[in-house]
Chain A
Amino acid sequence: MLEVSHLTKNFGGTVAVSDLSFRVEPQTVLGMIGPNGSGKTTSLNCVNGLYRPDAGRVVYQGRDIQGLAPHEVARIGIGRTFQVPKVFKRLTVMENMLAPVLSSHQSDAELHERANALLADVNLADRAARLGEELSGGQMKLLELVRVLMFDPTLILLDEPFAGVHPQMKTVFFAEIQRMREQGKTFILVSHDLTSLYSLCDRIVVMDLGQKIAEGSADEVKRNEQVIEAYLGA
């Protein structure tokens, strides 16, 4: 579904991502872990068009998507959430949900019904008329997740979805990701929450200082010496 090859991104003299390659198979969850500054978010930004890579290719469903603007990447089916959720704080929760489908040809009733169903999945249905700024940080993250689903992406990039989220809400997140995966969605999940990551992901890419230092199943990366060294400094 997604193939990233030899991706490199520099900021001035600093190498943020160097020669990164990985593949994501359909209906799977690929985890990305690594210490702060290891290039995880930069990699996501290169995939969804926020950054233009200095080298390498990003191929999505057989198409080279390098050079596409972020809105074009979204339109071909790649959704994205952020560590700090980008919710429209002065729009209502329902208006937030409808923002990705403003130009949709579907009827208002159909769109509202879909939005309400998605909000109900994450226990936000009763907040539909509230302003975005009235939600807690965790609720904003959930809103951002289901808002992405309104334009029905195939691949969803999740950046630190569990950071700063109440454990109870984390359970909701967890269930929602698993449910969406069963419905055919594919994920790249960047997180520091190793426990969640190990149980959700089919494969995990481990990064350090902009480079991939390991890739494999949860069990494989847990045993990898380079990973242990990067995390524990041992």
Chain B
Amino acid sequence: MAILMTQAVISGLLLGLVYALIGIGMNIIYGVMRVVNFAHGEFMLAAAYVCYWLSATFGLNPLESLVVVLPGFFLGGVVIYYLVVPRLLRSEDPEVMSFLAFFGVSLIITSVILLIWDADPRGVPFPFHTVSVSIGRLFFPLGRIIAGAFSLVAIACLLWLLHRTYLGKAIRAIIQNREAVPILGIDPHRISAFAFGLGLLLVALAGSVVVLSFPSITPVMGGGYTVVAFVVIVLGGLGNPLGALVGGIVFGLAENVSAVFMSTALSPVVAFVILIAMILFRPQGLLGRF
């Protein structure tokens, strides 16, 4: 039992780091703009499909694909920001309007994926998919270890950026008080566009590393990842980038550890019970506001 628990906790931590990476991009975007990116999971899935295409066409593995995927999604994010978000921010209720607008974007992305790659599941080949690492009597798929490590490094880089660079400090300032930023001479749109690009870069990274953990992708998986992102950021704290790390780990642990005691079919239920309890008793999330 102890071995099973240890296995579940470490697997939960690795999965939690990936979940954190999925949520953190959504939290940056929500924190800076109060924009609810309901297409978050679809953007992530789009990145996974681009990885699949780069693999099928040029033989690149998902990690090699990052060289193309990350700058592409960052620039795409900046363009989408200027096309869509300033108009949403001028509306009377940006949160609801953005929710609806990005719901539309999620449908568009799913349709485009279906159009290009049809509905069949696709697999992204990766040389380490079948390799496991054993530590004593514990076994971990190498793909998940690499995915967890990438997530950890990405989150560490993000925290460094937020606390040590001009743009990062401006992002922290705008998350805390959007109205105060322009009166100090800082262009909120420039910071927001960077943050939106950063959010999509992070979600693209998540899409690339998720195919290391879960190699098979289908066009309708995006909604599930959007829900994961929502759960993670509500657990950790809406708009708090560090909260996404905590929320992701709690979610990953809840799923994996509960699977030791009950059917795996029920393990997501535990995570959602924790989510509902959080909304009822600590709506600001574990870490609260940023």
Contact = CB atoms under 8 A, between A and B. Distances in A.
A99 B186 contact: yes
Interface centre among A69, A79, A90 (most CB of B within 10 A): A90
A70 B183 contact: yes
A99 B184 contact: yes
Given A95-B169, A102-B166, A89 B176 contact: yes
A80 to B, nearest CB: 5
Interface residues of B, number: 19
Interface residues of A, number: 24
B50 to A, nearest CB: 33
B185 A86 contact: no
Interface in B171-215: 172-173, 176-177, 179-188
Nearest to B167: A102
Nearest to B166: A102
B176 A74 contact: no
B122 interface: no
Interface of B: 166, 169-170, 172-173, 176-177, 179-188, 289-290
B173 A87 contact: no
Contact of B188 (A71, A86, A95, A147): A71
A107 interface: no
Contacts of A151: 184-185
A75 to B, nearest CB: 5
Contacts of A95: 169
Contacts of A98: 169
A70 to B, nearest CB: 4
Interface centre among A74, A79, A98 (most CB of B within 10 A): A74
A132 to B, nearest CB: 8
A209 interface: no
18 contacts: A69-B182, A70-B182, A71-B182, A71-B186, A74-B182, A86-B177, A88-B173, A88-B177, A89-B177, A90-B172, A90-B176, A91-B172, A99-B173, A100-B184, A100-B186, A102-B170, A147-B184, A151-B185
Which of A48, A79, A86, A102 has the most chain B CB atoms inside 10 A of its CB? A102
Contacts of A91: 172-173, 176
Contacts of A195: none
Which 4 residue pairs of A and B lie closest in terms of their CB atoms, listed nearest first?
A86-B180, A70-B182, A74-B185, A100-B184
B173 A80 contact: no
Given A69-B187, A102-B166, A88 B176 contact: yes
Given A86-B177, A89-B176, A103 B169 contact: no
Given A71-B187, A79-B183, A102-B186, 15 more contacts: A48-B183, A70-B182, A71-B182, A71-B184, A74-B182, A75-B185, A86-B177, A88-B173, A88-B176, A89-B176, A89-B177, A99-B181, A100-B184, A102-B170, A148-B183
Contacts of A74: 182-185
Contacts of A71: 181-188
Interface string A61-100: 0000000011100110001100000111111000100111
Contacts of A69: 182, 187
Contacts of A86: 177, 179-180, 183
B243 to A, nearest CB: 12
Nearest to A75: B185
Contacts of B184: 71, 74, 99-100, 147-148, 151
